[in-house]
Structure 1
């Protein structure tokens, strides 16, 4: 908003009467008829998605291990645009990441997922969860018919997983 206001009226805020061109058109590259102004909202989103990518792939970053907070929309965009190979299961999180036939356990068994404490969701790796079916001991609280059904489906799905 500050960029737009400065460009149109030389102030921090520009209202409808001052804006003569659509902001998205201004942010287009020159070869597509725009002015090439960088859209900071999209640039910020791309940067945060890079951080999310590096948190999954690069342990040598200075901020590795910090509890970085990402919005639900950022995570959804990241997981919609990436795929995961399970490999040895040491880094993939059992409950939150898409390691189970392209789905996360959160998507595969949403009612059962709600019975898992948040601290366990962020710490249980696939290899640790599969060892002795430790994932089943993460479940807490009262289970209803939906949770039990999803538990059985998950039990059947993880029996066919082999780590390399």
Structure 2
């Protein structure tokens, strides 16, 4: 698995190439060629944008999806295997790699946008979970 937050330098370079292609069809373009602000271009069509995906946001959402899989292991053999090797509350354990730091960094956001339904209390962190 190679899942990590994309470096900001990469996102900036990639977005610059996408902007250049969109506005000029070339690999590079000046700001004068851009007809609409990039933030506006990345809005959904229903909100007046062009529906082009924000790569940084897309990357973060896909990583949050992995964190969610870890919290619902019945849906994934990978998540079941990983849960046997880590502490689900901290994502610390017998796993190594830079991608785990990226997933750990997203835990506060994941906790902020999810809720926990109490069952038997074995998988709830009363101090961390909402």
Bin for the TM-score computed over the shorter chain: 0.5 to 0.7
- Report the counterpart of residue 31 of structure 1 in structure 2: 46
Task: Give the 5 Å matches for 1:1-164.
Answer: 1=15, 2-64=17-79, 65-66=81-82, 67=95, 69=100, 70=103, 72=105, 74-92=106-124, 99-100=125-126, 103-104=127-128
Could you list the runs of 5+ residues in structure 1 that have no partner in the other structure? Answer: 93-98, 106-164
3-state SS in 2 of match to 1:63: helix
Question: Under a length normalisation based on structure 2, what TM-score does the superposition of the two structures give?
Answer: 0.58
Rounded Cα–Cα distance in structure 2 between residues aligned with 1:6 and 1:16: 13
TM-aligned CA deviation for residue 60 of structure 1: 4.0
TM-aligned CA deviation for residue 4 of structure 1: 2.0
Shift in alpha-carbon separation, 1:10–1:51, aligned structure 2, 3 A? same
Q: What is the RMSD of the two structures over their aligned residues, measured on CA atoms?
A: 2.6
Number of equivalenced pairs: 96
Question: Under a length normalisation based on structure 1, what TM-score does the superposition of the two structures give?
Answer: 0.48
TM-aligned CA deviation for residue 79 of structure 1: 1.2
Could you list the runs of 5+ residues in structure 2 that have no partner in the other structure? Answer: 1-14, 83-94
